[in-house]
Structure formats: C-alpha cells, structure tokens
Amino acid sequence: MTNALRIAATGMAAQQTRVDTIANNIANMSTTAYAPRRAAFADLLYKQELTPGAVSSRTGTLVPGGIQLGLGVRTAAVTQDRVQGTLTATGGDLDIAIEGRGYFDVELPSGETAYTRDGRLSLDPQGVLVNAEGFPVAGGITVPSDARQVTIATDGEVYAVFSDGSSPQAIGTIGLTVFANEKGLEALGGNLFRETEASGAPLGGVAGLEGAGFMRQGYLEDSGVDVVSEIADLIEAQRGYDLNSKVLTAADEMYAAATRIR
C-alpha cells in the first residue's frame, strides 16, 4: 500500500508536467515560428521479487515470468516538436520566413551566437539589421540610409535598392545554420536557442546548401501549435491525473483500514 501511494504520486506529478507543457504550447499558439513541446515519460526501476528465468525447483525448472513490481513513472524529456509552421504573407521587406530546415544566427551582447527561426527583422538607429529582441544578425549587415528598399533573395543575399535608378547593391548575406539534432538545442526564451553538445556543432551557413531551407521575403512562419490536438491531449492528461488521484485515495483508505485492525 505504501508503494501504491508513492506510485500514484509519481503518476500525478507526471501528468502535471504534461499539463504544464500543453499550457505552454497553447500560450504560444500565436508566437512566431514556435515549435510545440512534447513531454515524454519512462517507467522507474522495478522491484525484482522473483527474477524471470530464476530456478524454481530442484529439477531446474525456470520461472517463465517472475515477479517484477513497478515503482512509478518519471519525466524522461520535454523536447520541441520541430514542424514547419504555415508561412503567412506580411508584405514587410524585413520579414523573412524559413521554408525548410535552418536557423538565423544572431549575436548576443556577450558575443555568443544564438539561433532563431523568428524572422521579424528591423533596423536599429545605425541601420544594422537586428532581430525582434534588438540583437544584430550575424555578419553585421548595415542598410545604407539612402536605400529606398531592401530585397532578400531565397539564398539570403541582401540587396539595397536606391531611388536614383542604379543597380541594386549587395550589402551582405543572411546565413542559415542547421543542426544534426535540433531537439538538443537549449531554449533561451525570446525565440532564441543555444548550441549544446546534444545538438551537435552548427552546420551549413548558406540557404539551400547542406540541408538548409530557403528564405521567403515578406512572410513569417506561424506557430506550429495544433490547438485541437493540444486540447485533446489536455483532456487526456486531466483524466490521467484524476485516475492517479483516485489510486492515491484508495491506497490511503486501505492503509487506514489496516491500521484499524485490532
């Protein structure tokens, strides 16, 4: 009965983690290029009261199944489900969506490189191309103050168009980085990620090469959250939590009954 109390408690904690994950997904249903998270679970160690294959008699008969008592569940991982969000047209010169794999590189104030799929770019007072958090895009692309328009090709090449009728001027390239294991990236918030040993070293650098996707100017990637699926998962998690709470109550009542025996 004591084990039942503890097992039910681990089940309730697991379902609470699942609900927290779903709540975060729903909260980010409108976040640009947000990748929904998924909670994964694993069973805990087993109490081996009778190991399968153990000798059960003097004649050498083997136990076919044994007695293995589970001790509950634990959260194994909460990882991002990297799905391509819908590309929505915005018409903005500095709005870019990634069609396919890849991340934009941005430079943090610490000098470290972070990665994002949020292509809501803008210009700082010096004309430097920055992301929505104000961090410059890697490479330090600066748009001339007299440029009338900015054009970004599918391979990331950035051109400034002037009103004097001269040919567009190439002013830099926005690179795309891919990772062998995107789920291994560390989320920093603000739609930013950091490289880890689990993600592997950054690869590529040019859109359309080494597995990287292409850029679409005038578009933004919508959140990858499927609200209908999230609500269904929420109902399932809620029922799982309720069932575990009933096991907890039943085990407590059984324990109370045992202590009343005279």
| pLDDT 10s digits, 103-147 | 999 999 998 999 999 999 999 999 999 998 899 998 888 998 888
Are residues 101 and 176 part of one domain?
yes
Residue 229 lies in a domain: no
Residue 228 lies in a domain: no
The two structure tokens encoding residue 41 = 């679970």
Are residues 99 and 78 part of one domain?
no
More reliable by pLDDT, 207 or 55: 207
Are residues 245 and 198 part of one domain?
no
Are residues 126 and 139 part of one domain?
yes
Residue 226 lies in a domain: no
> Which is it for strands 214-217 and 96-99: parallel, antiparallel or unpaired?
antiparallel
Residue 65 CB neighbours (<10 A): 8
Instruction: Give the DSSP per-residue string, 169-200.
Output: EEEEE--EEE-S-GGGPEEEETTEEE--TTT-
Q: What Å distances lie between residue 99 and 53, 58, 88, 131, 233, CA to CA?
A: 54, 68, 11, 18, 28
Domain count, the chain: 2
Are residues 115 and 12 part of one domain?
no
pLDDT score for 262:
61
More reliable by pLDDT, 258 or 245: 245
> CA 143 to CA 149: how far, in whole Å?
9
Are residues 103 and 69 part of one domain?
no
Residue 230 lies in a domain: no
Residue 180 lies in a domain: yes
pLDDT score for 218:
94
For the chain, the maximum distance between any two Cα atoms, rounded to a whole number of angstroms, is 100
- In this prediction the pTM is 0.85
Are residues 184 and 101 part of one domain?
yes
For tokens 């990858």, name the residue: 224
The two structure tokens encoding residue 240 = 């799982």
Average pLDDT, rounded, for the chain: 89
Are residues 214 and 149 part of one domain?
yes
> CA 200 to CA 179: how far, in whole Å?
6
Residue 138 lies in a domain: yes
Residue 195 lies in a domain: yes
**Residue 10 pLDDT > 80, yes or no?**
yes
**Residue 255 pLDDT > 60, yes or no?**
yes
**Residue 1 pLDDT > 60, yes or no?**
no
User: Domain range for residue 100?
Assistant: 87-221
> CA 207 to CA 212: how far, in whole Å?
5
| 57 pLDDT tier (thresholds 50, 70, 90) | low
Are residues 61 and 29 part of one domain?
yes
Which amino acid does the sequence have at 166?
S
**Residue 59 pLDDT > 70, yes or no?**
no
Are residues 73 and 179 part of one domain?
no
> CA 13 to CA 245: how far, in whole Å?
10
Nearest to 174 by CA among 102, 237, 240: 102
Residue 112 lies in a domain: yes
Are residues 203 and 113 part of one domain?
yes
Are residues 125 and 70 part of one domain?
no
More reliable by pLDDT, 63 or 153: 153
The two structure tokens encoding residue 251 = 């085990």
Mutual angle of helices 227-259 and 2-27, in 10-degree steps = 160
Q: Which run of H or of E encompasses 254?
A: helix 227-259
